[in-house]
Protein backbone atom coordinates (compact mmCIF):
# COMPACT_ATOMS: atom_id res chain seq x y z
CA UNK A 1 0.00 0.00 0.00
CA UNK A 2 1.06 3.58 -0.58
CA UNK A 3 2.16 5.66 2.38
CA UNK A 4 0.18 8.84 3.15
CA UNK A 5 3.04 10.87 1.65
CA UNK A 6 2.87 8.87 -1.58
CA UNK A 7 -0.90 9.35 -1.70
CA UNK A 8 -0.45 13.10 -1.18
CA UNK A 9 2.20 13.21 -3.90
CA UNK A 10 -0.18 11.62 -6.40
CA UNK A 11 -2.98 14.02 -5.46
CA UNK A 12 -0.72 17.07 -5.65
CA UNK A 13 0.64 15.99 -9.03
CA UNK A 14 -2.88 15.35 -10.37
CA UNK A 15 -3.85 18.93 -9.51
CA UNK A 16 -0.78 20.38 -11.22
CA UNK A 17 1.28 21.18 -8.12
CA UNK A 18 5.05 21.66 -8.33
CA UNK A 19 6.87 18.61 -6.88
CA UNK A 20 9.29 20.64 -4.75
CA UNK A 21 6.38 22.09 -2.75
CA UNK A 22 5.90 18.67 -1.13
CA UNK A 23 9.20 19.13 0.73
CA UNK A 24 7.40 21.54 3.08
CA UNK A 25 4.93 18.91 4.35
CA UNK A 26 5.28 16.82 7.50
CA UNK A 27 2.80 14.00 8.11
CA UNK A 28 2.82 12.29 11.51
CA UNK A 29 0.90 9.37 13.01
CA UNK A 30 0.16 5.78 12.12
CA UNK A 31 -2.84 3.79 10.94
CA UNK A 32 -5.36 2.77 12.05
CA UNK A 33 -6.79 5.54 14.23
CA UNK A 34 -10.39 4.35 14.01
CA UNK A 35 -11.84 0.82 13.88
CA UNK A 36 -12.25 0.24 10.15
CA UNK A 37 -10.91 -2.04 7.46
CA UNK A 38 -10.59 1.05 5.24
CA UNK A 39 -7.90 3.72 5.38
CA UNK A 40 -10.11 6.37 6.90
CA UNK A 41 -7.27 8.05 8.79
CA UNK A 42 -5.00 8.25 5.76
CA UNK A 43 -7.80 9.79 3.68
CA UNK A 44 -8.45 12.36 6.41
CA UNK A 45 -4.79 13.29 6.77
CA UNK A 46 -4.02 13.49 3.06
CA UNK A 47 -7.09 15.51 2.07
CA UNK A 48 -6.46 18.07 4.83
CA UNK A 49 -2.75 18.20 3.99
CA UNK A 50 -3.51 18.81 0.31
CA UNK A 51 -5.67 21.81 1.16
CA UNK A 52 -3.06 23.13 3.59
CA UNK A 53 -0.29 22.76 1.04
CA UNK A 54 -2.39 24.62 -1.55
CA UNK A 55 -2.85 27.47 0.93
CA UNK A 56 0.91 27.54 1.57
CA UNK A 57 1.55 27.59 -2.18
CA UNK A 58 -0.77 30.56 -2.61
CA UNK A 59 0.96 32.40 0.22
CA UNK A 60 4.32 31.86 -1.49
CA UNK A 61 2.88 33.23 -4.75
CA UNK A 62 1.53 36.27 -2.93
CA UNK A 63 4.41 37.02 -0.57
CA UNK A 64 7.43 35.09 -1.77
CA UNK A 65 7.57 33.36 1.62
CA UNK A 66 7.63 29.60 1.95
CA UNK A 67 6.35 27.83 5.04
CA UNK A 68 6.01 24.42 6.64
CA UNK A 69 2.73 22.49 6.71
CA UNK A 70 2.24 19.75 9.31
CA UNK A 71 -0.77 17.45 9.69
CA UNK A 72 -1.05 14.94 12.50
CA UNK A 73 -3.15 11.88 11.67
CA UNK A 74 -5.03 11.86 14.97
CA UNK A 75 -5.93 15.54 14.62
CA UNK A 76 -7.06 14.97 11.03
CA UNK A 77 -9.34 12.10 12.05
CA UNK A 78 -10.81 14.18 14.86
CA UNK A 79 -11.51 17.07 12.48
CA UNK A 80 -13.19 14.66 10.06
CA UNK A 81 -15.64 13.93 12.88
CA UNK A 82 -15.81 17.53 14.10
CA UNK A 83 -19.60 17.49 14.38
CA UNK A 84 -19.36 14.77 17.06
CA UNK A 85 -17.14 16.84 19.30
CA UNK A 86 -18.91 20.18 19.02
CA UNK A 87 -20.40 21.51 22.26
CA UNK A 88 -22.67 24.54 22.61
CA UNK A 89 -22.57 25.90 26.16
CA UNK A 90 -21.23 22.49 27.15
CA UNK A 91 -24.15 20.60 25.58
CA UNK A 92 -23.36 17.65 23.28
CA UNK A 93 -25.08 17.10 19.92
CA UNK A 94 -28.74 16.04 19.82
CA UNK A 95 -29.68 12.73 18.14
CA UNK A 96 -28.24 12.74 14.64
CA UNK A 97 -30.93 10.91 12.71
CA UNK A 98 -34.64 11.29 12.04
CA UNK A 99 -36.84 8.65 13.68
CA UNK A 100 -37.27 6.54 10.52
CA UNK A 101 -33.80 7.04 9.05
CA UNK A 102 -31.57 3.99 8.84
CA UNK A 103 -31.43 0.42 7.56
CA UNK A 104 -34.34 -1.87 6.71
CA UNK A 105 -34.83 -5.28 5.16
CA UNK A 106 -36.89 -5.80 2.01
CA UNK A 107 -38.95 -8.64 0.55
CA UNK A 108 -36.02 -10.02 -1.45
CA UNK A 109 -33.86 -10.23 1.69
CA UNK A 110 -31.76 -7.24 0.72
CA UNK A 111 -31.08 -4.09 2.75
CA UNK A 112 -31.98 -0.49 2.04
CA UNK A 113 -30.94 2.69 3.83
CA UNK A 114 -33.29 5.66 4.17
CA UNK A 115 -32.06 9.24 4.66
CA UNK A 116 -35.01 11.18 6.05
CA UNK A 117 -33.46 14.05 8.01
CA UNK A 118 -35.14 16.59 5.72
CA UNK A 119 -38.96 16.55 5.97
CA UNK A 120 -39.55 16.48 2.21
CA UNK A 121 -37.33 13.40 1.86
CA UNK A 122 -39.19 11.67 4.70
CA UNK A 123 -42.54 12.55 3.15
CA UNK A 124 -41.46 11.17 -0.23
CA UNK A 125 -40.54 7.81 1.32
CA UNK A 126 -43.84 7.60 3.17
CA UNK A 127 -45.79 8.43 0.02
CA UNK A 128 -44.12 5.61 -1.89
CA UNK A 129 -44.67 3.16 0.97
CA UNK A 130 -48.15 4.51 1.79
CA UNK A 131 -47.43 4.31 5.51
CA UNK A 132 -46.98 6.44 8.61
CA UNK A 133 -43.57 7.84 9.54
CA UNK A 134 -42.96 5.14 12.16
CA UNK A 135 -40.22 2.51 12.06
CA UNK A 136 -42.53 -0.48 12.44
CA UNK A 137 -44.84 0.80 9.72
CA UNK A 138 -41.95 1.50 7.37
CA UNK A 139 -40.45 -1.95 7.91
CA UNK A 140 -43.80 -3.67 7.33
CA UNK A 141 -44.34 -1.69 4.13
CA UNK A 142 -40.85 -2.48 2.83
CA UNK A 143 -41.54 -6.21 3.11
CA UNK A 144 -43.86 -5.67 0.13
CA UNK A 145 -41.00 -4.30 -1.99
CA UNK A 146 -37.84 -5.62 -3.61
CA UNK A 147 -34.89 -3.40 -2.72
CA UNK A 148 -33.90 -2.09 -6.14
CA UNK A 149 -37.49 -1.42 -7.18
CA UNK A 150 -38.04 0.60 -4.01
CA UNK A 151 -34.78 2.50 -4.50
CA UNK A 152 -35.87 3.50 -8.02
CA UNK A 153 -39.41 4.43 -6.97
CA UNK A 154 -38.23 6.47 -4.00
CA UNK A 155 -35.81 8.51 -6.10
CA UNK A 156 -38.47 9.15 -8.71
CA UNK A 157 -40.72 10.44 -5.92
CA UNK A 158 -38.05 12.83 -4.61
CA UNK A 159 -36.70 10.67 -1.80
CA UNK A 160 -33.12 9.70 -1.05
CA UNK A 161 -32.50 6.03 -0.31
CA UNK A 162 -29.97 3.39 -1.32
CA UNK A 163 -29.89 -0.36 -1.73
CA UNK A 164 -26.88 -2.02 -0.15
CA UNK A 165 -24.61 -3.36 -2.87
CA UNK A 166 -21.35 -5.20 -2.81
CA UNK A 167 -18.46 -3.42 -4.47
CA UNK A 168 -18.66 -5.88 -7.36
CA UNK A 169 -22.36 -5.13 -7.82
CA UNK A 170 -21.67 -1.40 -7.79
CA UNK A 171 -18.74 -1.77 -10.20
CA UNK A 172 -20.98 -3.57 -12.69
CA UNK A 173 -23.48 -0.69 -12.85
CA UNK A 174 -23.37 1.75 -15.77
CA UNK A 175 -22.87 4.60 -13.30
CA UNK A 176 -19.72 3.08 -11.81
CA UNK A 177 -18.38 2.36 -15.29
CA UNK A 178 -19.04 5.97 -16.32
CA UNK A 179 -16.99 7.21 -13.35
CA UNK A 180 -14.14 4.72 -13.72
CA UNK A 181 -12.14 6.86 -16.13
CA UNK A 182 -12.53 10.09 -14.13
CA UNK A 183 -9.98 11.44 -11.64
CA UNK A 184 -10.87 12.00 -7.99
CA UNK A 185 -10.80 15.75 -8.72
CA UNK A 186 -10.87 17.59 -12.03
CA UNK A 187 -9.77 21.18 -12.70
CA UNK A 188 -10.73 22.50 -16.13
CA UNK A 189 -10.49 25.86 -17.85
CA UNK A 190 -13.98 26.81 -19.05
CA UNK A 191 -13.52 30.27 -20.50
CA UNK A 192 -11.14 33.08 -21.33
CA UNK A 193 -10.48 35.87 -18.86
CA UNK A 194 -7.68 38.24 -18.00
CA UNK A 195 -5.47 37.28 -15.04
CA UNK A 196 -6.68 38.80 -11.77
CA UNK A 197 -3.97 40.24 -9.51
CA UNK A 198 -3.79 39.10 -5.90
CA UNK A 199 -5.38 41.51 -3.40
CA UNK A 200 -3.56 42.86 -0.38
CA UNK A 201 -3.62 40.76 2.76
CA UNK A 202 -1.63 38.98 5.44
CA UNK A 203 -3.10 35.46 5.03
CA UNK A 204 -3.16 33.07 2.05
CA UNK A 205 -6.74 33.87 1.05
CA UNK A 206 -7.09 37.39 2.48
CA UNK A 207 -9.21 39.58 0.23
CA UNK A 208 -10.71 36.65 -1.69
CA UNK A 209 -14.49 36.36 -1.73
CA UNK A 210 -16.19 32.98 -1.65
CA UNK A 211 -19.88 32.30 -2.29
CA UNK A 212 -20.80 29.12 -0.41
CA UNK A 213 -24.03 27.59 -1.73
CA UNK A 214 -24.06 24.30 0.16
CA UNK A 215 -25.63 22.41 3.06
CA UNK A 216 -24.97 19.44 5.36
CA UNK A 217 -21.22 18.51 5.47
CA UNK A 218 -19.04 18.26 2.36
CA UNK A 219 -19.68 21.66 0.75
CA UNK A 220 -19.83 23.52 4.08
CA UNK A 221 -16.52 21.92 5.15
CA UNK A 222 -14.97 23.31 1.95
CA UNK A 223 -16.17 26.81 2.81
CA UNK A 224 -15.03 26.43 6.42
CA UNK A 225 -11.56 25.43 5.19
CA UNK A 226 -11.27 28.42 2.86
CA UNK A 227 -12.34 30.67 5.75
CA UNK A 228 -9.65 29.10 7.96
CA UNK A 229 -7.04 30.41 5.51
CA UNK A 230 -8.47 33.93 5.47
CA UNK A 231 -11.14 34.02 2.74
CA UNK A 232 -14.29 36.10 3.13
CA UNK A 233 -16.91 33.35 2.91
CA UNK A 234 -20.57 34.25 2.49
CA UNK A 235 -22.93 31.33 3.01
CA UNK A 236 -26.08 31.71 0.94
CA UNK A 237 -29.14 29.75 2.05
CA UNK A 238 -32.85 30.08 1.39
CA UNK A 239 -35.37 31.07 4.04
CA UNK A 240 -37.41 27.96 3.23
CA UNK A 241 -34.57 25.47 2.75
CA UNK A 242 -34.31 22.83 5.49
CA UNK A 243 -31.06 22.60 7.40
CA UNK A 244 -29.51 20.50 10.16
CA UNK A 245 -28.80 23.04 12.93
CA UNK A 246 -25.87 21.24 14.56
CA UNK A 247 -24.04 20.95 11.26
CA UNK A 248 -24.77 24.60 10.50
CA UNK A 249 -23.05 25.57 13.76
CA UNK A 250 -20.03 23.33 13.23
CA UNK A 251 -19.39 24.16 9.58
CA UNK A 252 -20.40 27.83 9.82
CA UNK A 253 -17.26 28.93 11.63
CA UNK A 254 -15.59 31.82 9.84
CA UNK A 255 -18.56 32.58 7.59
CA UNK A 256 -21.10 35.29 7.09
CA UNK A 257 -24.61 33.97 6.40
CA UNK A 258 -27.38 35.48 4.30
CA UNK A 259 -30.70 34.44 2.79
CA UNK A 260 -31.65 34.65 -0.88
CA UNK A 261 -34.69 33.00 -2.41
CA UNK A 262 -33.29 31.79 -5.72
CA UNK A 263 -36.77 30.89 -6.96
CA UNK A 264 -37.57 34.62 -7.12
CA UNK A 265 -36.29 37.22 -9.57
CA UNK A 266 -35.11 39.32 -6.65
CA UNK A 267 -33.10 36.43 -5.21
CA UNK A 268 -31.50 35.54 -8.53
CA UNK A 269 -30.61 39.18 -9.16
CA UNK A 270 -29.09 39.34 -5.69
CA UNK A 271 -26.95 36.26 -6.35
CA UNK A 272 -25.86 37.68 -9.70
CA UNK A 273 -24.74 40.90 -7.99
CA UNK A 274 -22.73 38.92 -5.43
CA UNK A 275 -21.25 36.71 -8.12
CA UNK A 276 -19.89 39.68 -10.06
CA UNK A 277 -17.54 40.48 -7.17
CA UNK A 278 -16.73 36.91 -6.08
CA UNK A 279 -13.51 35.01 -6.63
CA UNK A 280 -14.86 31.51 -5.93
CA UNK A 281 -18.34 30.00 -6.09
CA UNK A 282 -18.63 26.67 -4.27
CA UNK A 283 -21.91 24.82 -4.64
CA UNK A 284 -23.46 21.53 -3.64
CA UNK A 285 -26.84 21.75 -5.35
CA UNK A 286 -28.08 18.72 -7.22
CA UNK A 287 -26.49 18.68 -10.70
CA UNK A 288 -28.22 21.07 -13.13
CA UNK A 289 -30.25 22.75 -10.36
CA UNK A 290 -28.25 25.99 -10.53
CA UNK A 291 -28.03 25.74 -14.30
CA UNK A 292 -31.83 25.82 -14.44
CA UNK A 293 -31.66 29.10 -12.50
CA UNK A 294 -29.10 30.67 -14.84
CA UNK A 295 -25.95 29.94 -12.83
CA UNK A 296 -24.22 27.09 -14.64
CA UNK A 297 -20.40 27.23 -14.61
CA UNK A 298 -20.36 28.72 -18.11
CA UNK A 299 -23.02 31.31 -17.24
CA UNK A 300 -21.16 32.22 -14.06
CA UNK A 301 -18.01 32.71 -16.16
CA UNK A 302 -19.92 35.12 -18.40
CA UNK A 303 -21.20 37.07 -15.39
CA UNK A 304 -17.73 37.16 -13.83
CA UNK A 305 -14.86 36.20 -16.14
CA UNK A 306 -12.10 34.66 -14.06
CA UNK A 307 -14.41 32.96 -11.56
CA UNK A 308 -13.41 29.68 -9.90
CA UNK A 309 -16.54 27.51 -9.90
CA UNK A 310 -16.56 24.41 -7.66
CA UNK A 311 -19.18 21.71 -8.17
CA UNK A 312 -20.03 18.95 -5.69
CA UNK A 313 -22.29 16.05 -6.66
CA UNK A 314 -23.21 12.73 -5.08
CA UNK A 315 -22.55 10.34 -7.97
CA UNK A 316 -20.52 12.41 -10.44
CA UNK A 317 -21.38 14.59 -13.42
CA UNK A 318 -21.60 11.80 -16.02
CA UNK A 319 -23.61 8.59 -16.28
CA UNK A 320 -27.29 7.74 -15.72
CA UNK A 321 -27.13 8.75 -12.04
CA UNK A 322 -25.55 12.14 -12.68
CA UNK A 323 -28.61 14.00 -11.34
CA UNK A 324 -29.34 11.60 -8.47
CA UNK A 325 -29.42 13.04 -4.97
CA UNK A 326 -27.23 11.52 -2.31
CA UNK A 327 -25.55 11.81 1.04
CA UNK A 328 -22.41 10.23 2.51
CA UNK A 329 -24.28 7.41 4.27
CA UNK A 330 -26.18 6.51 1.09
CA UNK A 331 -23.11 6.56 -1.14
CA UNK A 332 -21.30 4.35 1.38
CA UNK A 333 -24.21 1.90 1.13
CA UNK A 334 -24.55 2.00 -2.65
CA UNK A 335 -20.88 1.69 -3.57
CA UNK A 336 -19.94 -1.28 -1.40
CA UNK A 337 -18.35 0.21 1.71
CA UNK A 338 -21.07 -0.88 4.12
CA UNK A 339 -21.22 -4.37 2.64
CA UNK A 340 -17.43 -4.79 2.81
CA UNK A 341 -17.17 -3.37 6.32
CA UNK A 342 -20.01 -5.63 7.45
CA UNK A 343 -18.28 -8.67 5.99
CA UNK A 344 -15.00 -7.73 7.66
CA UNK A 345 -16.81 -7.37 10.99
CA UNK A 346 -18.85 -10.57 10.55
CA UNK A 347 -22.10 -8.59 10.51
CA UNK A 348 -25.20 -9.75 8.65
CA UNK A 349 -25.98 -6.45 6.99
CA UNK A 350 -24.41 -3.05 6.47
CA UNK A 351 -21.78 -1.57 8.77
CA UNK A 352 -21.02 2.13 8.50
CA UNK A 353 -17.55 3.62 8.36
CA UNK A 354 -16.55 5.20 11.70
CA UNK A 355 -16.65 8.70 10.21
CA UNK A 356 -18.53 10.41 7.41
CA UNK A 357 -15.24 10.38 5.59
CA UNK A 358 -16.72 10.65 2.09
CA UNK A 359 -18.24 13.97 3.14
CA UNK A 360 -15.28 15.37 5.01
CA UNK A 361 -12.57 14.25 2.60
CA UNK A 362 -14.64 15.58 -0.31
CA UNK A 363 -14.97 18.92 1.45
CA UNK A 364 -11.21 19.25 1.82
CA UNK A 365 -10.73 18.16 -1.80
CA UNK A 366 -13.17 20.89 -2.87
CA UNK A 367 -11.14 23.50 -0.99
CA UNK A 368 -7.92 22.03 -2.39
CA UNK A 369 -9.23 22.20 -5.95
CA UNK A 370 -10.55 25.73 -5.49
CA UNK A 371 -7.15 26.94 -4.28
CA UNK A 372 -5.20 25.10 -6.96
CA UNK A 373 -7.41 26.64 -9.64
CA UNK A 374 -7.14 30.08 -8.02
CA UNK A 375 -3.34 29.78 -7.98
CA UNK A 376 -3.37 29.27 -11.74
CA UNK A 377 -5.74 32.12 -12.58
CA UNK A 378 -3.33 35.04 -11.91
CA UNK A 379 -0.69 33.28 -14.02
CA UNK A 380 -2.77 31.86 -16.86
CA UNK A 381 -6.01 33.83 -16.76
CA UNK A 382 -9.25 32.07 -17.59
CA UNK A 383 -12.31 30.90 -15.70
CA UNK A 384 -12.03 27.49 -14.04
CA UNK A 385 -14.34 24.64 -13.07
CA UNK A 386 -13.46 22.21 -10.25
CA UNK A 387 -15.50 19.01 -9.95
CA UNK A 388 -15.66 16.48 -7.12
CA UNK A 389 -18.22 13.90 -6.03
CA UNK A 390 -18.84 11.69 -3.04
CA UNK A 391 -18.72 8.61 -5.25
CA UNK A 392 -15.34 9.55 -6.75
CA UNK A 393 -13.91 10.28 -3.31
CA UNK A 394 -15.23 6.87 -2.30
CA UNK A 395 -13.51 5.26 -5.26
CA UNK A 396 -10.27 7.02 -4.29
CA UNK A 397 -10.53 5.76 -0.69
CA UNK A 398 -11.40 2.24 -1.85
CA UNK A 399 -8.30 2.17 -4.04
CA UNK A 400 -6.07 3.14 -1.11
CA UNK A 401 -6.40 -0.46 0.05
CA UNK A 402 -7.67 -2.27 3.14
CA UNK A 403 -6.17 -2.66 6.61
CA UNK A 404 -5.87 -6.20 7.89
CA UNK A 405 -7.17 -6.20 11.45
CA UNK A 406 -8.24 -2.57 11.13
CA UNK A 407 -11.56 -3.25 12.85
CA UNK A 408 -9.76 -4.54 15.92
CA UNK A 409 -8.49 -1.08 16.87
CA UNK A 410 -10.18 0.99 19.56
CA UNK A 411 -12.14 4.11 18.80
CA UNK A 412 -10.69 7.44 19.90
CA UNK A 413 -11.26 8.22 23.57
CA UNK A 414 -12.08 11.67 24.91
CA UNK A 415 -8.53 12.20 26.14
CA UNK A 416 -7.23 11.81 22.60
CA UNK A 417 -9.48 14.63 21.40
CA UNK A 418 -8.68 17.22 24.09
CA UNK A 419 -5.45 18.57 22.51
CA UNK A 420 -7.36 19.65 19.41
CA UNK A 421 -10.21 21.52 21.09
CA UNK A 422 -10.60 25.29 21.30
CA UNK A 423 -13.15 27.63 22.86
CA UNK A 424 -14.83 30.38 20.87
CA UNK A 425 -17.89 32.61 20.95
CA UNK A 426 -20.75 32.20 18.47
CA UNK A 427 -24.21 33.40 17.63
CA UNK A 428 -25.49 30.30 19.44
CA UNK A 429 -23.50 30.68 22.67
CA UNK A 430 -19.98 29.63 23.70
CA UNK A 431 -18.61 26.81 21.53
CA UNK A 432 -16.15 24.04 22.21
CA UNK A 433 -14.97 22.95 18.76
CA UNK A 434 -12.12 21.30 16.87
CA UNK A 435 -9.24 23.42 15.59
CA UNK A 436 -8.14 23.06 11.97
CA UNK A 437 -5.64 20.20 11.57
CA UNK A 438 -3.30 21.81 9.02
CA UNK A 439 -0.60 23.54 11.08
CA UNK A 440 0.97 26.39 9.07
CA UNK A 441 4.29 27.83 10.25
CA UNK A 442 3.80 31.39 8.91
CA UNK A 443 0.07 31.81 8.41
CA UNK A 444 -1.72 29.79 11.11
CA UNK A 445 -5.21 28.64 10.16
CA UNK A 446 -8.02 30.10 12.28
CA UNK A 447 -11.55 31.45 11.96
CA UNK A 448 -11.77 35.20 12.41
CA UNK A 449 -15.58 35.28 12.43
CA UNK A 450 -17.89 33.38 14.78
CA UNK A 451 -20.53 31.05 13.38
CA UNK A 452 -23.94 32.74 13.26
CA UNK A 453 -27.54 31.62 12.67
CA UNK A 454 -28.55 31.26 9.04
CA UNK A 455 -29.59 34.57 7.49
CA UNK A 456 -27.88 36.74 10.14
CA UNK A 457 -26.21 39.01 7.58
CA UNK A 458 -27.43 40.99 4.58
CA UNK A 459 -26.67 39.45 1.17
CA UNK A 460 -23.77 41.73 0.39
CA UNK A 461 -20.00 41.74 0.62
CA UNK A 462 -18.49 43.56 3.56
CA UNK A 463 -16.28 46.55 2.78
CA UNK A 464 -13.53 46.72 5.37
Residue from 359, 363, 117, 118 nearest 233 by CA:
363
pLDDT mean over 56-79: 97
pLDDT mean over 303-316: 97
Order the strands of the 102-105 sheet from edge to edge: 102-105, 111-114, 161-163
Return phi, psi of residue 259, to 5°: -100, 140
Distance CA 280, CA 402 (A): 36
pLDDT digits (tens, 9 = 90+) for 176-193: 999 998 999 999 999 999
pLDDT mean over 205-224: 96
pLDDT mean over 402-410: 92
C-alpha dihedral over 366, 368, 374, 377, to 10 degrees?
-100
Check pLDDT > 70 for residue 464.
no
Check pLDDT > 90 for residue 217.
yes
pLDDT mean over 103-119: 94
Check pLDDT > 70 for residue 392.
yes
pLDDT digits (tens, 9 = 90+) for 32-59: 999 999 999 999 999 999 999 999 999 9
Check pLDDT > 80 for residue 311.
yes
Domains in the chain, start-ordered, CATH in brackets? 4-94+183-318+354-440 (3.40.50.10540)
CB atoms within 10 A of CB 383: 23
Distance CA 114, CA 241 (A): 20
Q: Which residue(s) pair with 427 in the sheet?
A: 429
pLDDT mean over 219-223: 97
Residue from 460, 211, 381, 190 nearest 299 by CA:
190
pLDDT value of residue 286: 80
Residue from 294, 312, 304 nearest 209 by CA:
304
Element housing 415 (H / E): helix 414-417
> Are residues 318 and 330 in contact, defined by beta-carbon separation less than 8 angstroms?
no
Check pLDDT > 80 for residue 404.
yes
pLDDT value of residue 414: 82
Amino acid sequence: MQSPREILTDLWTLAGGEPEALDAVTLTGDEPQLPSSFRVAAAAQVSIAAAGLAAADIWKLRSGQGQQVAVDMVHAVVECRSERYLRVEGTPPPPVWDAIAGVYKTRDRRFVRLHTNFPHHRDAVCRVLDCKAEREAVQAALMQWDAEAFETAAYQAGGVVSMMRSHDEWSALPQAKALAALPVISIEKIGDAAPKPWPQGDRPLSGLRVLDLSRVIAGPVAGRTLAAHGADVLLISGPDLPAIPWLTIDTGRGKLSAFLDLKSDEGRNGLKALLRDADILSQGYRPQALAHLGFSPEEAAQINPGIIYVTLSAYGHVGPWAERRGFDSLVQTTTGFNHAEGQAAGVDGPKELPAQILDHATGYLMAFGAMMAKARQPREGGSWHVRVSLAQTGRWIWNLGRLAGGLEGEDLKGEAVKPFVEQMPSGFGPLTAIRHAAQMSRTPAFWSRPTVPLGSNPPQWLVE
